[in-house]
Amino acid sequence: MYGIVLSSNENFNDSTIFSIFIDEFYTLIYNVNKDLLNLYM
């Protein structure tokens, strides 16, 4: 989702690595929040 936007930059390699990092980071945040929601429900 975020990778497509970021990898359109001129520095393709850097932006690709960065977009993968962002994607993994948001996936991690999402999973943690989902687990926290399950604890409270």
**What's the confidence (pLDDT) of residue 12?**
56
Which pLDDT value is given to residue 19?
79
For residues 16 and 9, give the distance between their C-alpha atoms in angstroms, rounded to a whole number.
Answer: 9
Question: Which is it for the CA torsion 9, 14, 18, 20, positive or negative?
Answer: positive
Distance (Å, whole) CA 20 – CA 34: 21
Position 1 scores a pLDDT of 44
* pLDDT at 2 (0 to 100): 46
Query: Which tokens belong to 22?
Result: 């962002």
pLDDT digits (tens, 9 = 90+) for 1-41: 444 454 455 655 667 777 778 888 888 888 888 888 888 76
Quick check: 6 and 23 in contact, CB under 8 A?
no
Using alpha carbons only, give the angle 23, 24, 30 rounded to the nearest 5 degrees: 90
